[in-house]
Amino acid sequence: MDDPFPSGYLMGNLGTIIWDDGMGGRSPWFPAAALHSGSGLVISVGAVSYYDRMDNLEDRLIYRAVSGAGYAGKIIKIKAAVSQFNAFGIFYSQTGFLSVGYRGFSLEATGYRFFVRGKEETARTLGELGAAIWVPFKYAAVMFQAEHIVLKESRSGSDTPFLLRGSIHTKRNLFGAQGVTVVVIPSRAQPVRFTLGEEYRLFGWLGIHAAVSANPVMIGIGVVAEWSRAGAALSFVSHPELGWSKGFSAEYRPRL
Amino acid sequence: MKFPGILILLAAYVFSADIFISEIHRDPAGAESAIGGGASHEFIELINSGNDTLFIDSLYITDGTESDSIVPVDEPVSGHPDCIVSTRFLFPGQTAVILDPDYRDAVTRNPSCRLPIAEGSVLYMCGDRELGAGGLASDEGVMLYKGTKIVIDSIICFASDYPLNTDGKISLSSPVNREGVSLVPVSILFDTVVYDYCAASVTPGRCELLRNGWVIDWRLREKELSEDLVTCTIKCRKPGGGKESQRWCLYCDSSGVRKILNSGKIVSGALTSTLISEFTAGNFDLVFSMANTEWLIDLSGVRMSGGVVRINELSPRTLTGEPEWFELVNTSSMTVNLSGWKFGNSSDTAILSATDRFLEPGGFLVVTKDAEALCARYPGLKNVLEPPVWHTLDNYRDTLLLTGRSGFFCDIACFESAWFTKWENQSLERARPDYDGLSSESWNLSLRATPGFPNSSLFWRTTQDPSMEIGPIPFTPDGDGTDDLLAVTLKVPSSSTVSLSIYSFEGRMVRTFSGPAVRKYLWDGKTDNGQKAAVGPFFVIALIQRSGNSVMIRKKGVLWR
């Protein structure tokens, strides 16, 4: 089971706006490779409510709560995050994420536990690896990721298929910041997903962003506010059939 | 295990006439719940109306696709101290309630889900699984039989309104299910057991048909339309029998003045007694009295003029070798004699039948150009009429008129090919019996022709407000025989088209169902490419379009394996 879009600040821009000293790069649930060297400690929390309420089980939501922390020294970077996913009180998923980076390269380990209420004895566990390379240039950075390389699973049949992601993320410029990602899932009949995003700063501390993706078609919008050591983002993603998802995230960077 | 549909058809001839399903509760009140043990439970009530004891050894229950044994509840159930447990017998006159196997544990944990079972009821339960193997669907009937899980030795009773079903499922679609309200028979002593809503919502252990120990059932028939002569057939039965003699009386009550029409004595030991009386219809109430109890006989159906016989299905375009045909249904509560009735259009009419031809209440009659050829095409077809002269139906645009013996207008069926897309050789089904038959909304292309039986779309295309139900939640397509298929059940207005898609949590469309809309879709948990869909939440989206308007229904579920 893969998320339709990233959580937290990256939700409204569908993962396209990542600059290594910006909120996207600091998200603890994103690879450490994209964390700005020497940026210190960051703590983040986030929550997402997925899609509309639909026409059954109306009072039960699908949501994810995520929290984590990251630290970047001059060379070594490390991030860790945990999340809890609840689909209308019937299906649950718990995820642990650890990313260790060296300069612009990082390795990610992710552990999942899925279960259905009342059938806990049939819970599935899954351990995966991933890798990311962050290559910054003068005006933009290029990132390559491989995700969902299954190490061990309690039952065969991985539900998180292996994927490759390539992306370009510009630095902040006159027109804001832009990003393009291409995701390829080889096991899928329609394996490619394109996403295009833009963020524009209305003021130095307040920005708006938007993104659009194909396969599946989604439109994301969001507002981000950053102060000296804190930041918050409010995000919305629309799917033509499934409706609106709502998300919130906040981060704090304590002085060490 | 699947029972072939034809086997169920045979049930009409061999089932026991003494045991009846006197209540069936399929859709308990309460929120849709995926929690095992649940807060609400289905049940089936039986009554032994005969003189012999029923032994439940080798007794099985089936919905036509799965079967399960019936076993006694072996220990007292919390809250039901006066119910009978640990017995394998159902004595004459006794009532039994068949429960889900988890009912006893559920009421122990949660007394609020206790059913109001009458004192003295015998409690049985399914041996392995819930009634209907995972719960009875809202259109599902059941059958009780003696035998094994895979062999039927004899059929004890069934609750069904559509005995012949090609997919083996036993259906009970009429009346449409209401949450929290069970169905009880309103008529059991004539050929067809007819079900209706239980006035008190649920009454497990109490048979509504029993009054002072007697079951009374009646039919009315106008003898001659012009003379207002009515024949009243009354059937009486005393479950548990006995040899006592009872006086009965049929009288008319006009403003409190009673006039005896007929009277006599019957012996209750004779299983079913049949009394026939004849009277001239008038402005009075008809009352049957016996054993210090009175039954008011509804005369409202007697005076119906014309219109009681409707053209329910017609097939002007047929496959090679299949003759043209149309189907009539009697929508009234009285038997109609079709002798002298005519069909055709304004320029050409033909006699339906020159001799007496009776159509029972709720009965179907198939009128065709060649009865032998039609029966060869549809084996098991009964009640077929071949008129002396056939009026040929136009394949593209026609009007079929049905007129009574004295020439009164009875029904009309208008159709033209422009109303339908992809009309090849499907039959046309009346969307609802009360539609006028003149407009495109009155007719649907059938999924499969059903001469002599209710229409394939009758029950799911009779609503103005479309609805969709999905289940089970969670759905577990792991091949263990339990909850392996997701059932998506639709009710849509006539002349609708349906596009059904399943989306993964990721937002991708993983499965689409195309082709003519059907009442029930089944999903095996695989994508359009045959790959297993991911575990987790998924979404079922139905887009229902009709006359340029569209309605989207979205439901969510969980896939787990």
What local confidence, expressed as pLDDT, does residue A179 receive?
A: 95
End-to-end, the C-alpha distance of chain A in Å comes to 38
* pTM score, whole prediction: 0.54
- Identify which of A160, A152, A31, A6 has the alpha carbon closest to the alpha carbon of residue A83: A6
Contacts of B516 (CB under 8 A, 6+ apart): B445, B447
* Residues of chain B contacting residue A189, judged by C-beta atoms under 8 Å apart: 527-529
Q: How far apart are CA A30 and CA A33, in angstroms?
A: 9
Of B37-46, B365-374, B413-422, the range with the lowest mean pLDDT is B37-46
Task: Specify the CATH number for B467-559; select among 2.60.40.4070, 3.40.640.10, 1.10.10.10, 3.40.50.80.
Answer: 2.60.40.4070
Q: Which of A55, A88, A159 sits opposite B553 (nearest CB)?
A: A55
CATH number of this structure's domain B309-445: 2.60.40.1260
Residue A194: is its pLDDT beyond 80? yes
Sign of CA dihedral B71, B72, B73, B75: negative
Q: How far apart are CA A21 and CA A77, in angstroms?
A: 13
Closest Cα in chain A, distance from residue B539 (Å): 8
Task: Name the range with the highest mean pLDDT among A137-146, B150-159, B346-355.
Answer: A137-146
* Contact flag B554-A241 (C-beta cutoff 8 Å): yes
- From residue B43, alpha-carbon distances to B46, B50, B114, B181 in Å are 10, 22, 12, 12
Which of A57, A113, A195 is the mutation pick for testing B, counting most B CBs within 10 A? A57
Residue B458: is its pLDDT beyond 60? no
Torsion of CA B436, B460, B556, A218, to 10 degrees: -50
Q: How far apart are CA B132 and CA B472, in angstroms?
A: 13
Residue B31: is its pLDDT beyond 60? no
Tokens for A132? 């990311």
Span A32-37, average pLDDT: 91
Assess A58–B contact: CB distance below 8 Å, yes or no: no
Give per-residue pLDDT as tens, B352-390. 988 888 887 778 899 999 999 998 888 878 889 999 999
What local confidence, expressed as pLDDT, does residue B334 receive?
A: 66
Assess B91–A contact: CB distance below 8 Å, yes or no: no
Tokens for B299? 């005369």
Assess A186–B contact: CB distance below 8 Å, yes or no: no
What local confidence, expressed as pLDDT, does residue B305 receive?
A: 42
Residue B60: is its pLDDT beyond 50? yes
What domains are defined for chain A?
Answer: 8-252 (2.40.160.40)
Give per-residue pLDDT as tens, B339-355. 888 899 877 889 998 88
What local confidence, expressed as pLDDT, does residue B191 receive?
A: 66
Taking the domains of chain B in order of start, what are their residue ranges? 5-197, 210-297, 309-445, 467-559
- Identify which of A242, A116, A243, A55 has the alpha carbon closest to the alpha carbon of residue B558: A116
Residues of chain A with pLDDT > 90, as a percent, come to: 74
Using DSSP's 3-state secondary structure scheme, residue B8 falls into helix
* Residues of chain A contacting residue B553, judged by C-beta atoms under 8 Å apart: 55
Secondary structure of B334-362 in the HEC alphabet?
ECEECCCCEEECCCCEEECCCCCCEECCC
Backbone angles phi, psi at B441, to 5 degrees: -70, -20
What local confidence, expressed as pLDDT, does residue B3 receive?
A: 45
CA A254 to chain centre: 22
Q: Which of A1, A216, A242 sits opposite B536 (nearest CB)?
A: A1
* Contact flag A56-B535 (C-beta cutoff 8 Å): no
Residue B13: is its pLDDT beyond 50? no
Sign of CA dihedral B90, B94, B95, B99: negative
Residue B38: is its pLDDT beyond 60? no
Higher pLDDT, B503 or B405: B503
Largest CA distance in chain B: 77
* Residues of chain A contacting residue B38, judged by C-beta atoms under 8 Å apart: none
Ramachandran assignment for A51, one of left (phi > 0), alpha (psi -120 to 50 degrees), beta (any other): left
Residue B44: is its pLDDT beyond 50? yes
Contacts of B393 (CB under 8 A, 6+ apart): B314, B316, B324, B326, B400
Dump the DSSP string for chain A.
---SS--GGGTTTTT----TTSHHHH-TTS-GGGSPTT-EEEEEEEEEE-S---SSSTT--EEEEEEEEEEE-SSEEEEEEEEEEEETTTEEEEEEEEEEEETTEEEEEEEEEEEETT-GGG-EEEEEEEEEEEEE-SSEEEEEEEEEEEEEESSSS-SS--EEEEEEEEPSBTTBEEEEEEEE-TTSSS-EEEEEEEEEESSSSEEEEEEEETTTTEEEEEEEEE-SSEEEEEEEEEETTTEEEEEEEEEE----
Closest Cα in chain B, distance from residue A215 (Å): 7
Question: Residue type at B499?
Answer: S
What local confidence, expressed as pLDDT, does residue B12 receive?
A: 35
Of A159-163, B359-363, B390-394, the range with the lowest mean pLDDT is B359-363
Dump the DSSP string for B362-394.
T-EEEEES-HHHHHHHSTT--SEE--SS--PPP
* Residue B259 confidence class, pLDDT cut points 50, 70, 90: confident
* Contact flag B34-A51 (C-beta cutoff 8 Å): no
Assess A240–B contact: CB distance below 8 Å, yes or no: no
- Identify which of B97, B295, B333, B330 has the alpha carbon closest to the alpha carbon of residue B196: B333
Residue A207: is its pLDDT beyond 80? yes
Residue B312: is its pLDDT beyond 50? yes
Assess B36–A contact: CB distance below 8 Å, yes or no: yes
Higher pLDDT, A229 or B15: A229
Residues of chain A with pLDDT > 70, as a percent, come to: 98
* Residues of chain B contacting residue A56, judged by C-beta atoms under 8 Å apart: 32, 470, 555-556
CB B244 within 8 A of CB B273: no
Q: State the CB neighbour count (10 A cutoff) for residue B153.
A: 10
CB B474 within 8 A of CB A90: yes
- From residue B472, alpha-carbon distances to A54, B33, B353, B485, B496 in Å are 17, 10, 50, 8, 26
What local confidence, expressed as pLDDT, does residue B515 receive?
A: 61
What local confidence, expressed as pLDDT, does residue B461 receive?
A: 52
* Residue B282 confidence class, pLDDT cut points 50, 70, 90: low
Largest CA distance in chain A: 56
CB A6 within 8 A of CB A81: no
Higher pLDDT, A51 or B333: A51
* Residues of chain B contacting residue A159, judged by C-beta atoms under 8 Å apart: 534-536
Residue A28: is its pLDDT beyond 80? yes
For residue B13, the surrounding DSSP H or E stretch is helix B5-14
Higher pLDDT, A144 or B336: A144
Assess A120–B contact: CB distance below 8 Å, yes or no: no
Assess B555–A contact: CB distance below 8 Å, yes or no: yes
Secondary structure of B35-95 in the HEC alphabet?
CCCCCCCCEEEEEECCCCCEECCCEEEECCCCEEEEEECCCCECCECCCECCCCEECCCCE
Query: Strands, E, within B417-485: which ranges?
Result: 428-430, 443-445, 467-471
Span B296-322, average pLDDT: 74
Q: How far apart are CA B213 and CA B268, in angstroms?
A: 10
Residue A236: is its pLDDT beyond 90? yes
* Residues of chain B contacting residue A91, judged by C-beta atoms under 8 Å apart: 474, 535-537, 558, 560
Give per-residue pLDDT as tens, B201-251. 889 998 888 888 888 888 777 655 545 677 788 888 888 766 778 888 998
Residue A246: is its pLDDT beyond 90? yes
Residue A158: is its pLDDT beyond 70? no
Q: State the CB neighbour count (10 A cutoff) for residue B197.
A: 15
User: Which CATH superfamily does the domain covering B210-297 fall into?
Assistant: C2 domain (2.60.40.150)
Residue B34: is its pLDDT beyond 60? no
* Contact flag A54-B556 (C-beta cutoff 8 Å): yes
Sign of CA dihedral B127, B133, B139, B142: negative
Assess A14–B contact: CB distance below 8 Å, yes or no: no
